[in-house]
């Protein structure tokens, strides 16, 4: 089926340089563009259904991840409160440990970055289905930009975790043997 739905790369024009370009007189170059196959033009749903599914599969996580993150943070705070109560009863001074935990900050940063980088791609994919040719060009360019943002988010994910989480940093150091992990 994918054979019938593909695009064709065809020559659409011939480029002739202007005199100010400094090329010899008889120089030309082909300009190429893409056109849809006849089958996909006659049956647009064949391309629209997978694109809609792809768009929805990008939007659903962008909407549910913040909700699940809020629930997780609420549970982490409840657990921390219970842990502090237990520590306070077991310590002679009654003062809970002052060690800070940056897990909530890390989870929040990752959620915001993921939602704002991946969510718009789903919207763009769905808009492209219903848009005209001029809007399709704009959305295609936006798709490239947000694709680069997703790649940047993915690349920096582990770096953010290393900077924020001491446990993550310790594990990375041990895995890559930057720290002696044998006990003496």
Same domain, 17 and 57: no
Same domain, 12 and 101: no
Same domain, 53 and 25: no
**Is residue 65 in a domain?**
yes
What is the residue range of 26's domain?
A: 1-43
Alpha carbons 72 and 104: distance in angstroms, whole number: 9
Same domain, 96 and 82: yes
Same domain, 9 and 79: no
Same domain, 139 and 52: yes
Residue-level pLDDT at 131: 81
Backbone φ, ψ for residue 65 (5° rounding): -60, -45
Residue-level pLDDT at 148: 94
Same domain, 3 and 64: no
**Is residue 86 in a domain?**
yes
Alpha carbons 122 and 54: distance in angstroms, whole number: 7
Token pair for residue 119? Answer: 């969510």
- Helix ranges, the chain (H): 38-42, 45-90, 103-130, 133-164, 166-175
Q: What pTM value is reported for the model?
A: 0.62
Alpha carbons 85 and 94: distance in angstroms, whole number: 9
Give the count of domains, the chain. Answer: 2
Same domain, 83 and 144: yes
- pLDDT by residue for the chain (184 residues), tens only, comes to 555 566 778 888 998 988 888 888 888 899 988 777 777 778 777 778 888 898 999 999 999 999 999 999 899 889 888 888 887 776 655 444 545 567 888 888 889 999 998 899 999 989 888 887 778 888 888 999 999 999 999 999 888 888 888 888 888 888 888 765 555 4
**Is residue 127 in a domain?**
yes
Same domain, 66 and 156: yes
Run of H or E including 109: helix 103-130
Task: Print burial letters for 157-182: b (CB count within 10 Å at least 16), e (below 16).
Answer: eeebbeebbeebeeeeeeeeeeeeee
């Amino acid at each position: 089926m994918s054979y019938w739905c593909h695009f064709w790369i065809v020559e659409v024009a011939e480029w002739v340089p202007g005199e100010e370009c400094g090329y010899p007189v008889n120089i030309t170059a082909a300009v190429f563009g893409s056109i849809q196959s006849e089958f996909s033009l006659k049956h647009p749903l064949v391309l629209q259904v997978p694109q809609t599914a792809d768009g929805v599969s990008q939007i659903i996580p962008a909407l549910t991840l913040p909700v699940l993150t809020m629930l997780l943070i609420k549970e982490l705070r409840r657990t921390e409160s219970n842990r502090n109560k237990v520590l306070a009863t077991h310590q002679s001074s009654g003062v809970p440990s002052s060690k800070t935990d940056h897990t909530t900050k890390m989870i929040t940063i990752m959620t915001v970055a993921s939602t704002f980088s991946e969510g718009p791609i789903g919207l763009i994919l769905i808009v492209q289905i219903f848009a005209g040719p001029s809007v399709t060009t704009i959305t295609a360019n936006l798709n490239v930009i947000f694709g680069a943002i997703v790649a940047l988010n993915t690349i920096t994910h582990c770096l953010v975790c290393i900077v924020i989480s001491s446990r993550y940093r310790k594990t990375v150091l041990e895995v890559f043997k930057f720290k002696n992990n044998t006990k003496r």
